[in-house]
Amino acid sequence: MYIRVPGRVPFFGMSAIPLRVFLIVSLTLTVGACTMTETQQRTGSGAAIGAAAGALIGGRSGAAWGAAVGAGGGYLVDQQKKRGSAEAENQRLREENHRLQQQAR
């Protein structure tokens, strides 16, 4: 026989309030990411991954450090990807310019 305890989620064994807060925060972040730029998304993803890794390694202070390092890493990855796509676009435009000059002669 199962006895239901008010305020508890039977499967998770945790209070219903932290579970609700977790669900609300995760849904808000998911929907909020729809309006973010790629830079913001990569920085935010880096911060989230860094915070999780930092929390596993060093608790709360580790989570703060991990979030900071992860955000920096996400930003650097974003800038590297932007630089690569800009260089590819420049190369494409150089080739097109060269082709048009050859046609004009």
Please determine, for residue 4, whether its predicted confidence score (pLDDT) is greater than 80.
Answer: no
Here the tokens at position 90 are: 């420049």
| Count of other CB atoms within 10 angstroms of residue 39 | 15
Q: Could you give the C-alpha distances from 73 to 42, 49, 56, in angstroms and in order? A: 9, 10, 18
> Cα–Cα distance between 9 and 23 in angstroms, integer?
13
pLDDT of residue 73: 94
Q: Supply the pLDDT for residue 78.
A: 93
Domain residue ranges of the chain, discontinuous segments joined by +? 1-35, 37-104
User: Hey, how many other C-beta atoms are within 10 angstroms of the C-beta on 76?
Assistant: 13
pLDDT digits over 42-97, tens only? 998 899 889 888 888 888 788 889 999 999 999 999 999 999 999 999 999 999 99
- Predicted confidence at residue 83, as pLDDT, reads 93
Cβ atoms 83, 53 nearer than 8 A: no
pTM greater than 0.75: no
